[in-house]
Amino acid sequence: MSHNNNTSSANDPRQPSSAKPYVAQPVSQQDLPVDYSGFIAVVFGIAGVMFRYKLSSWLAIIFCAQSLANMKNVENDLKQISMAMMFAIMGLVTNYFGPARPGTQS
Amino acid sequence: MNFSLFHLLFLLSLLITHLSFSRVLADSHFEGFDAEDDETIEEEILDHHSIRSPPVTKSDSHPLTDLETQTEPDPNPVPASDTPSQSDLQKPSATSFEYWDEDEFEGLPVEQPPPEPAKDTENATPNDPDPKTTAKSQDVTVSKKSFTVEIVCGSFLIVFVINYFTGKRENENLALAWAAKFATKGSIFEKNFSLLGVGEGEDSPLLLKEGQTVFKFYASGRRYCQGLLATMELKSRHDLISRLFNLVVPCKDEITFEVYMNDEAMDQVIFAVAKKKAAKGMQKEVRDLQRFAGLVPNPSGRKWVVDELSVISESKEVAGDLITEAVLEQVFGDKAYEKYGKNFISMHFSDQHPGMHRKMLVFKFALPDANNMADMTRLVALVPYYIDLIGRYKLSSQARSKTETARVKAAQEAYKELQNARQEALQRKKAEKKKMLEEAEAKLSAEAVRKREAKERARQMKKGMPKMKMTRAH
């Protein structure tokens, strides 16, 4: 198309004088997409702890892993994810090392 | 903090259930046996024995019945000698079994007939071998327990972790392949822009990685424009769940070029090209397209873009000027589109762009995979071509008059909205100030009000007292 323009120096479109360095645009907290997987992880973790349901605790761990994988901003997101992880691990510990669930065999 | 709260709650609930258990049993005993205080302790010990066996019998009735029938003949001679000492014990244990099973385990009539008629004597001694048999049967049950949940979830987690690293690397390779083709020495962007990359100086990194799926490339230093920002949004290959989701709901790797035009370089142009459905959506949703432009019908008598694409513009004239022969021949024409235009998603030029920068050109293309980067060459070449075209383009007087009026109106409306917003803000501030003053006054005068009220009460008391005296007198 217009590749010819770029080869000859007379028609060089470049203007080093007008070059501006890159400035990262700040993104406000509200614009960020909602961390659904972290939220689901917390829900499953709480359900696993309260109802002593093993599958729920395992699913909480899986969704925590997904949330960790998708984490963009280390400082802000790590707090929620670590909270979800705590719930999930607590659920697993109470499920496996706690007293047997009444009514069913663990 | 959360740990301790939950643990406390659990411990409490466990304690309560245990206490309620023991209390229920104790009550049932006392109902039946009023005067047997000596045996309360022994009854409680028996309770523990009887507590241990039923949970096992509930789920594993078969092995226990076998074991019980086996143990039946053996303890017979032993308890026979102990019957006089244990006769007192047998009644409570038998009845405890009865009470236990009737109240708690209604669905287990099977276990009752063998222990009851088989002489209450056996109930004392089987309680000792029972724990042993229960231990054995528990071992048996442990080996029969299935670990499906653990195996499935554990393997999913392992596959997830492996996929994270492979997916991450795949995305990085794709981004680097693009950069190698279009941003390194001798490539199209290097010939068009003097500053490439996101850092400062000579050796600045070309790509900026924002998360596992977003890569940014920046270039600056060209006529007509302040800079160009290319954002690659790739599929979430690193996330196994998203990958599975994308098997069902298809997704594409996209690259978006945003060119920030200089104010003097761009005339009043609002123009967009996209696939038919997408174009309709864009025209309805994007603010400046909705306000200023409309879908342009295919003009007859000249070559135009492929049927699959539609053009949005303020006027046909502008659209015709921007869809040049060269573009049609290279990308958008009938022949070229088949080969080179498949990765085109949309392009949008606007001098009233909603957002920070007003005058922008936005191009969106789909990324081919790492080995076929060359497919995109013609599409990427559109970018500098249109920068020059728009940079040099001047509207004709007719077109300008139309666009001018529309923009003036829009500017006036925007100004009015600003005014309204400012007035509302001022009014709100005034109202807040009034509230503050009133509250302050109320606080200050509260003491005076209290004094007044106290004085009034005192007066009323004085008034009231003579009345009371009078009535008493009467």
Average pLDDT, chain B: 77
Interchain contact, A2 vs B384, CB within 8 Å: yes
Mean pLDDT of B126-134: 48
Shortest Cα–Cα distance, A30 to chain B (Å): 16
| Other residues' Cβ atoms within 10 Å of the Cβ of residue B296 | 22
**Confidence band of B15 (pLDDT split at 50, 70, 90):** low
Residue B412 backbone dihedrals phi, psi, to 5 degrees: -60, -45
Q: Which two tokens stand for residue B317?
A: 């004239």
Residues facing residue B312 across a β-bridge: B272, B295
* Residues B255 and B367 sit within 8 Å (Cβ to Cβ): yes
Q: Which of B242, B229, B205, B154 has its CA nearest to residue B383?
A: B229
> Is any Cβ of chain A less than 8 angstroms from the Cβ of B106?
no
Mean pLDDT of B382-394: 92
> Is any Cβ of chain A less than 8 angstroms from the Cβ of B143?
no
Most confident of A66-80, B200-214, B265-279: B265-279
> Is any Cβ of chain A less than 8 angstroms from the Cβ of B51?
no
Residue B232 backbone dihedrals phi, psi, to 5 degrees: -100, 120
Is the pLDDT at B112 greater than 50? The verdict is no
Asked if the interface predicted TM-score (ipTM) of this complex is over 0.90, the answer is no
Q: Which two tokens stand for residue B144?
A: 């029969």
What's the CA gap between A61 and B150, in Å, rounded? 12
Mean pLDDT of B447-469: 81
Q: Which of B386, B388, B387, B368 has its CA nearest to residue B377?
A: B368
b vs e for B233-250, b when ≥16 Cβ sit within 10 Å of the residue's Cβ? bbbbbbbbbbbeeeeeee
The three-state (H, E, C) secondary structure of chain A, written as one string = CCHHHHHCHHHCCECHHHCCCCCCCCCCHHHCCCCHHHHHHHHHHHHHHHHCCHHHHHHHHHHHHHHHHCCCCHHHHHHHHHHHHHHHHHHHHHHHHCCCCCCCCC
354-383 in B: which are within 8 Å (CB) of A? 356, 378, 381-382
What's the CA gap between B26 and B50, in Å, rounded? 13
Nearest to B153 among A5, A16, A58 (CB): A58
What's the CA gap between B362 and A27, in Å, rounded? 20
Q: How many CB pairs under 8 A join A and B?
A: 119
Three-class secondary structure of residue B264 per DSSP: coil
What's the CA gap between B172 and B174, in Å, rounded? 5
What's the CA gap between B291 and B312, in Å, rounded? 12
Mean pLDDT of B299-313: 88
Is the pLDDT at B379 greater than 70? The verdict is yes
Residue of chain A whose Cα is closest to the Cα of B384:
A2
Interchain contact, B221 vs A6, CB within 8 Å: no
Residue B136 falls in which region: left (phi positive, over 0), alpha (psi -120 to 50) or beta:
alpha
What's the CA gap between B467 and B463, in Å, rounded? 7
Give CA torsion, residues B457, B463, B465, B469, to 10 deg: -170
- Choose from A1, A5, A12, A90 for mutation: most chain B CBs within 10 A: A1
What's the CA gap between B309 and B329, in Å, rounded? 15
Nearest to A6 among B145, B192, B226 (CB): B192
325-354 in B: which are within 8 Å (CB) of A? 326-327, 330
**Confidence band of A104 (pLDDT split at 50, 70, 90):** low
- Choose from B6, B151, B234 for mutation: most chain A CBs within 10 A: B6
User: Positive or negative CA dihedral for A62, A63, A66, A71?
Assistant: negative
pLDDT on residue B433: 95
